[in-house]
Amino acid sequence: MKIIDLRSDTVTRPAQGMYDAMMSAPVGDDVYGEDETVNALELAAAELLGKEAGLFLSSGTQSNLVSLLTHCGRGDEFIVGDQYHIYLSEAGGASVLGGLACCVLATDDHGGLQPEQVIASIKDDDPHLAISRVLCLENTVHGMVQKTEQIRTLAEAASSRGLAVHFDGARLLNAAVALDEPAANIVAPVDTVSLCLSKGLGAPVGTVLCGPADFIRSARRQRKLLGGGMRQAGILAACGLYALEHHVERLAEDHANARLLADGLSSIESLRVTSETNMVFVVPPVDAHTNLRAHLIGLGIRVGPEKPAIRMVTHLDISRGDIECVIDSVIAYFQK
């Protein structure tokens, strides 16, 4: 049985070109700064995002944590949206390991924040209060694109009050492709950016944290503190370089497949379907949720357990034919 895995774009497998790049990658001891391929990846990511320097880390979660530990001291506070990965899905690492307070702001229906919210949340210089140090933004948010002007307005609001701005760009390049503008334009107003390589870009592992050169030097210490120093990491970095060279523009294919899936499922009256970029959210009738998932899984179509909306994520291992198969399978379920 063929497996069509729509749970996430994290399930992608390395392309043959990535395997070839791994096999031929020049390597060295990255803790000593001697791995040529890691150095090349860090430089390429920084140039792509318009930042001075980059640091290769094992994951987006580690990158976000290293960034917060570098921006903040114990007892400081970061401000973040209530639907953002840093708050929802990183095991509270900034608080557990960094001793940081978290100020959570309600996001709107499109995953956005308002500058008035940010300004109102920034603490006065009062010994009773945590010191607000950094605003955390994200793009995309559950597949939803945050407009460049909105990012700029939020960043300026934070910067005007002396806060740094960290940007979780796990799917930044999906946003850049959807907006048809360079990623560097989107993140120009922010200080630091985490660029994930292992989602839509299809690398097996890794994120690059980008920002000012002096910040990255300090971040390297925090990576070491967290046990994140790697040795001959070029065999992994080579996949990231391959992804940046070959897999950015093709993200548009994932978006087109998601639109095809959303349009096909929207023909079923009992479903409520929404979609942006490479994510499709399907809300079936409450009494059909469990049985619909079981039906799809029985056919080799893997979807996540989320409720009330079932999330389906397109990626480079999903073809147009796979999308048509999923649409037919859902239609068949509701015709029974």
- Could you read off the pLDDT of 143-160 as tens digits, one per residue? 999 999 999 999 999 999
Q: State the average pLDDT over residues 9-34.
A: 96
pTM of the model: 0.96
- Residues in contact with 250: Cβ distance below 8 Å, sequence separation at least 6, in sequence order: 316
Q: How far apart are alpha carbons 273 and 10 in whole angstroms? A: 22
Assign 3-class secondary structure to the chain: CCCEECCCHHHCCCCHHHHHHHHHCCCCCHHHCCCHHHHHHHHHHHHHHCCCEEEEECCHHHHHHHHHHHHCCCCEEEEEECCCHHHHCCCCHHHHHHCCEEEEECCCCCCCCCHHHHHHHCCCCCCCCCEEEEEEEECCECCECCCHHHHHHHHHHHHHCCCEEEEEECCHHHHHHHHCCCHHHHHCCCCEEEEECCCCCCCCCCEEEEECHHHHHHHHHHHHHCCCCCCCCHHHHHHHHHHHHHCCCCHHHHHHHHHHHHHHHHCCCCCEEEEECCEEEEECCHHHHHHHHHHHHHCCEECCCCCCCEEEECCCCCCHHHHHHHHHHHHHHHHC
**Within 10 Å of residue 29's Cβ, how many Cβ atoms?**
14
Provide mean pLDDT across the span 36-57: 98
Which of the pair, 336 or 173, is modelled with greater confidence? 173
Residues 9, 271, 283, CA angle at the centre, nearest 5°?
50
Instruction: For residues 124 and 167, give the distance between their C-alpha atoms in angstroms, rounded to a whole number.
Output: 24
Say if residue 1's pLDDT is above 90: no
In words, the CATH class of domain 11-246 is alpha beta
Decide whether 11-246 matches 250-335 in CATH topology. no
What local confidence, expressed as pLDDT, does residue 333 receive?
Answer: 95
Distance between CA atoms of residues 183 and 176, nearest Å: 5
Q: What percent of the chain lies above the pLDDT cut of 90? A: 99
pLDDT at 336: 79
Ordered by start, the domain boundaries in the chain are 11-246, 250-335
Confidence category of residue 108, pLDDT binned at 50, 70, 90: very high
Per the omega criterion (within 30 degrees of 0), is the bond before 140 cis?
yes
pLDDT digits (tens, 9 = 90+) for 235-257: 999 999 999 999 999 999 999 99
In this structure, the strands spanning 192-196 and 207-211 are antiparallel
What topology is assigned to 250-335 in CATH?
Aspartate Aminotransferase, domain 1 (3.90.1150)
Alpha-carbon torsion (184, 187, 190, 196), positive or negative: negative
- How far apart (Å, rounded) are the C-alpha atoms in residues 316 and 257? 10
| CA–CA dist 13, 168 (Å, integer) | 23
Q: Which two tokens stand for residue 51?
A: 């930042």
Q: What does the mean pLDDT of the chain come to?
A: 97
pLDDT of 186? 98
Per-residue pLDDT, averaged over 207-231, amounts to 97
pLDDT for the residue 315: 98
